[in-house]
Amino acid sequence: MAVPGRFRRIHQGLQDNVAIEEQGQPLCLSSRFVAPLGLQCGRGSNASDCPGSRVSRLSAALRAHVQLLHTEAERTGLVGDVLRGRATPGDYALWLRNLLPTYQEMEAALERYRGRAPFIELARPELYRAEAIISDLHRLTGGWHRLPLLHAGSIYAQQVAQAATGDGHLLIAHVYTRYLGDLSGGLVLKRVLARLPGAQSFRFHDFPGIADRQACQIEFRAAIDRAGAQRSDWTDILVEGAAAFRCNIELSKAIQAVCADPAFPL
């Protein structure tokens, strides 16, 4: 299905930007394979498999598995409002405040696991976003505590915390979802936000420790693939990836609803 106008540009910016060629094997983009669309934020175990098909790279499998959710995330809630020019910097600050606990949980877990496989290559402080978010919120609002943490924000952070239990391998799905999105789609969002009334600059979108974003994306995607190569079954990681996108969508919708309420000043 064609992606119209501005959404085509953001779609191209937020996608993984790599053509998937898997030796002629189908990538199983049927509704059966995207079964986790029905998930809320819980980690279900009812993901449908794709008999006769095996994608050889975990990043490609995740991309295929969440493709429909990815498109939904770009078009709905606060993110959709930002892309249509309907949001304010205050709305986006509330978005960042509610993403902060998710990044804090993920980055604390990555630091705990950084000396172990598969996180030796995935724990990269130059990608961490929590400190940048806190800096943005202090500058824009006087502190992150001045904005409310919505229930959907708490649920997202809890999802990441649960993924970090055991050997923590489910964190791979959240690392994929957040950091590759920040590196690629973050540039698009930064340009759109700069055109909004009362535009502000967000450190959240800046990676001063990375000289070449495209090269970083390629290498980080390869690191995810190497992490995937250490596991024989990716089913639970794919389910977690879909749950991560669903949490993101639900949070985006919740913030849109709050920002639309005239009784809630931002």
The CATH superfamily of 55-259 is Heme oxygenase-like (1.20.910.10)
What's the pLDDT score for residue 193?
Answer: 85
What pLDDT does 73 receive? 94
Triad 233, 56, 172: Cα angle to 5° = 55
Q: What pLDDT is attached to residue 108?
A: 98
Which amino acid, one-letter code, is at 84? R
The C-alpha atoms of residue 43 and residue 156 are separated, in whole angstroms, by 12
Counting Cβ atoms within 10 Å, is residue 52 exposed (0-12), middle (13-18) or buried (19+)? exposed
Q: In this predicted structure, what is the pLDDT of residue 262?
A: 81
Q: What pLDDT, on a 0 to 100 scale, did the predictor assign at position 27?
A: 30
pLDDT of residue 143: 78
Q: How far apart are CA 224 and CA 227, in angstroms?
A: 5
pLDDT of 55: 67
For the whole model, what pTM was predicted? Answer: 0.80
* Domain range list for the chain: 55-259
Helical ranges in the chain per DSSP H: 5-14, 58-65, 67-75, 77-83, 89-113, 130-141, 151-163, 171-175, 181-193, 213-228, 235-259
| pLDDT for residue 54 | 52
Tokens found for residue 256: 């849109």
* Mean pLDDT per 10-residue segment, the chain (266 residues): 39 37 31 33 36 69 97 94 88 95 98 94 97 92 88 98 97 97 87 78 91 96 97 97 98 96 73
Return the closest-CA partner of residue 140 out of 196, 81, 89.
89
Whether 245 contacts 70, CB under 8 Å = yes
What pLDDT, on the 0 to 100 scale, is given for residue 265? 62
